[in-house]
């Protein structure tokens, strides 16, 4: 049984080769990013910004 297993394992051995492709790999990414900003100000902060428009 052991000799049969060694014979089968020897027959399955092989060589693996890896070759680089001729052309570069191109990956197209179509990404859509949408940003929505929602803000709320209390009355005191809103009036402070209106009184000092150059604060920002």
SS3 31: coil
Q: What is the pTM of this model?
A: 0.28
**pLDDT at site 53:** 83
**pLDDT at site 1:** 59
| pLDDT tens series, the chain, 56 aa | 556 555 555 555 568 888 888 999 899 888 888 888 777 778 888 888 888 888 76
């Amino acid at each position: 049984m052991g000799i049969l297993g060694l014979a089968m394992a020897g027959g399955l051995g092989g060589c693996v080769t890896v070759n680089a492709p001729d052309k570069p790999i191109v990956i197209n990414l179509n990404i859509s990013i949408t940003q929505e900003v929602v803000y709320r100000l209390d009355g005191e902060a809103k009036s402070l910004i209106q009184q000092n428009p150059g604060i920002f």
